[in-house]
Every structure is written in C-alpha cells, then in structure tokens.
Structure 1
Amino acid sequence: MSHAIKSKKSLLTRVRRIKGQAEALEKALENEAECMAILQQIAAVRGAVNGLMAEVLEGHIREHLGPDATDAEERHADLEEVVTILRSYLK
C-alpha cells in the first residue's frame, strides 16, 4: 500500500485547507482588499502547500528510500526522481 494512501485522510484535509485559502485569496483580490491582507493570504497558501509537500515527501522517503524498501539500483533511480522534483519545487 502506498504511503499516500495510508495518509489519504490527512492529505485530503490539507488539500481542502489549501483550496479554502486559495478561494479566500481570490475573494480578497476580487474585493480589492488591502495589500497586507493579500500578502498574508499568499503566505498562508504557501505555508499550507509547503506543509503538504513535506508530509508527502517524508512519507515517500521513509517508504521508498529506506534500507529495506528496494534494491540499491531502484533506490538510486527513485532518489534521482525525488531530486528532480525538489529542484522543480524550489525554483
């Protein structure tokens, strides 16, 4: 069973929170809210997305890159995929 499936409820809760925050940001922009309120909402969305990324990444590393997960060659290939995704995420 995938680690994402094991923590499905928690991950969906995070995604729904992000969705709500993004909707609040959209509303703030539509209503021409003050810049500080918009910046605060952007920071909240970013923090929520970072938390989601951290949770999924930690689960993936623990399950797929641990010493008992797979053979060394498969671990190396998975590690390269994770590095590629992290580079893309951190741009």
Structure 2
Amino acid sequence: MPRTAEDKHRAITRLRRIRGQAEALERAVEAGHGYAPVLQQLAALRGAVHGLMADLLDSHLRETLAQQPAPSPQAVDETLALLRSYLK
C-alpha cells in the first residue's frame, strides 16, 4: 500500500475519480444511453483502474525488490504472481 502521505493522497484521489466514473456509467446505463457513450465511459473507467494498478504495482516493486542486499525468494515469487495477475 502507499506509504507516504502524498502517495496515499494520490491513490485516494484516483479512487474517488474511479468511483465518480462508475457512478456516471451506472447513470448512463439507467438512462438508456447508446452503446458508444457507454463504451467510451467504460474504457475511461478501465484506464483509470489500470493507472491505479500500475502506480500501486510500481510502489510495491520498488519496496519489495529494492531490499538490501537482495529480495527473498518468497518476495520474488509474490511479485511474479502479482505481475501474472496484472497482465491477464
């Protein structure tokens, strides 16, 4: 998880933006908007989630793999599992 106050603030800001996008998407579906605007909002939501995932993954990799003198085999395995799930 984000460690610094700035990183936490940035993650929370992204999460709030994602929540707003999800709510807008729900309203668009309820209102019966056409496919194009709904798909565009869905793509924006997906991009926002991927951006948050990339930021958190970056922080995790820096914290885990930057250990001195070297990361443990368990830390490497956990990181590889995260990468595999992220790349699906």
Under a length normalisation based on structure 1, what TM-score does the superposition of the two structures give? Answer: 0.83
The total of aligned residue pairs comes to 86
Shift of 1:82: 2.1
Distance 1:27 1:90 in 2: 30
What's 2:56 paired with? 56
Contact 2:14 2:48 in 1 (8 A): yes
Aligned to 2:81: 84
- What does 1:5-84 correspond to in 2, within 5 Å? 5-6=3-4, 7-66=7-66, 69-70=67-68, 72=70, 74=72, 76-84=73-81
Q: CA RMSD in A?
A: 1.6
Query: Among the aligned pairs, what percent are the same residue?
Result: 48
Amino acid at match of 2:35: C
- TM-score normalised by L of structure 2: 0.85
Q: Counterpart of 2:32 in 1: which secondary structure?
A: coil
Cα separation, partners in 2 of 1:63 and 1:73, compared to 1, 3 Å = closer
Name stretches of at least 5 consecutive residues in structure 2 with no aligned partner.
Answer: none
Q: Which runs of 5+ in 1 are unaligned?
A: none
Q: Residue 5 of structure 1: SS of its match in structure 2? A: coil
